[in-house]
Homo-oligomer: A and B are copies of this chain.
Amino acid sequence: MARSRSEQAAWRREQLLDAALRVFADKGVDGATVKDVAQAAGVTPGLLYRYFDSKEAMVETLLSERGFLPRLRELGELRHDDRPATEVLTGLLEAFDRLLADNAELMAVFFSAAQARAPLAGLVGQGQRLIGDFLAERVAAGELRPHDTATAARTLFAAVAVNRRLGTPIDVSALVGLLFPEEG
Contact = CB atoms under 8 A, between A and B. Distances in A.
A120 B162 CA distance: 12
A30 interface: yes
A114 B31 contact: yes
Secondary structure class of chain A's binding surface, majority of residues: helix
- The interface size bin for chain A is 20 to 34
A48 interface: no
Nearest to A111: B111
Interface of A: 27-28, 30-31, 111-112, 114, 120-121, 124, 145, 147-148, 151-152, 154-155, 157-159, 161-163, 166-168, 170-171, 174-175, 177-179, 181
26 contacts: A28-B112, A120-B166, A121-B166, A121-B167, A124-B162, A124-B166, A145-B181, A147-B178, A148-B177, A148-B178, A151-B170, A151-B171, A151-B174, A151-B175, A154-B159, A154-B162, A154-B163, A154-B168, A155-B158, A157-B162, A158-B162, A158-B163, A161-B162, A162-B162, A178-B179, A179-B179
